[in-house]
Amino acid sequence: MAVTEGAAAETLDVERVRADFPILAREVNGRPLVYLDSAATSHKPQRVIDAVADFYARHNANAHRGIHTLGEEATELYEDARARLARFFGAPAPETIVFTRGTTESINLVAQGWGRTVLREGDEILLTEMEHHSNIVPWQMTVEVTGARLRYIPLTDDGLLDLSGLDALLTERTKVLGVTGMSNALGTITPLAELIAAAHAVGAVVVVDAAQLAPHHAIDVAALDVDFLAFSGHKMLGPTSSGGLYGKAELLERMAPMLGGGEMISEVFHDHATYKSPPYRFEAGTMEVAEQVGLGAAVAYLQELGMDAVRAHERAITAYALERLAEAGATIYGPTDPAIRGGAVSFWYKDVHPHDLAQILNEEGVAIRAGHHCAQLVMRRYGTPATARASFYVYTTTQEIDALIAALATAEAIFA
């Protein structure tokens, strides 16, 4: 399978895992930190912190610039991180991985470099109503200059994609299908294999937002036959401003660069320039070398844990959280079956506004997110201005879920 569920995988030794994350020893407001906001950004294990520090302490130079020792070491570490990511995602070659600052930049790169080159008036881009703004706004900007049209796959009442009308939405006019692998607002895991096959049947290119899927699931881009896949390193234990884009080689070759400048060129003349082959065509200027080296260390850490075990832990902790939240009287948005959802649980608790709730929970040392989660189409679909969201990762424990429930009771008492 391209995305493995790993239900029978060996479970994580969470206490051993937690020992690798120095920030988890912190206290907030005199209480042990309970961090339930990993969908926004994950914490970093010590080896990732060490990899970044070691780069600056011993190897700091600009990659692909100097032929001196430090320059060659920086280039080797940078390209080793690219190769690690290619293996992690089952990509056919390191050259199919373009380094970016994360999912937002990756999707903008596709929307501008591929979409504005290929799309014409009358073409259609099919998105879903559960998309993060990062997989909506770049396409809105693209249709403004191409004359293409946006269409959307709707949502069911229980937080799934409504595929009953897919045949009418996917037509010969559809040139792009943009879809999240897992909703950051609903936790819904989308049926990527089914959607990709349907899109390819009409000749459409598929762009997958894997910001939430990649941290928890094994993904094989070759087996999925996905055209583009965007991911954010900071959500998968890596540094901020790390991440990238996988693209099929033939599509990357057709893409125009989004940024022009140093190191992405082959030759520059007075009136024009020629560009390097991918991925370097898309990596203009000084890149986030240390951050991508850190992401390489994060990927190695995840591979040692085993992505089947990572997913099994996500399922188990999500099932426990859903049960405890329901018992506490919370209204949960999205599927309630942990087999078809991930560990980002949005909810409304009693009569307490999510922003007030988050503030009270912070006083108890519990960190959650409150707001529309950059998914306003989702909020409008379910008639709520915002939700509270608790999200989990490899270091989350059942005791932390219990702390969340206790903090909710405190908030209820304050607002009663």
Catalytic center residues: 374
Whether 48 and 297 have beta carbons less than 8 Å apart is answered as: yes
Whether 332 and 187 have beta carbons less than 8 Å apart is answered as: no
Residue 380: partners with Cβ closer than 8 Å, 6 or more residues away: none
What DSSP designation does 11 have? Answer: P
Identify the residue whose tokens are 């709730």.
357
Q: Which residues pair with 387 in a beta bridge?
A: 371
Identify the residue whose tokens are 């950051």.
184
Nearest to 32 by CA among 46, 42, 18, 48: 18
Residue 129, Cβ density class (10 Å: 0-12 exposed, 13-18 middle, ≥19 buried): middle
CA 288/CA 408 separation, integer angstroms: 40
CA 414/CA 416 separation, integer angstroms: 6
Cis, bond preceding 335 (omega within 30 deg of 0): no
Residue 249: partners with Cβ closer than 8 Å, 6 or more residues away: 92, 93, 95, 96, 278
3-state class (DSSP) for residue 329: coil
Stated length of the chain: 416
State both tokens at 287: 């890149």
CA 243/CA 146 separation, integer angstroms: 28
Identify the residue whose tokens are 């130079």.
61
CA 168/CA 191 separation, integer angstroms: 18
- Give per-residue burial for 175-213: e unless 16+ CB within 10 Å, then b: bbbbbbbbbbbbbbbbbbeebbebbbeeebbbbbbbbbb
User: CA of 241: how far to CAs of 210, 215, 246, in Å?
Assistant: 16, 16, 16
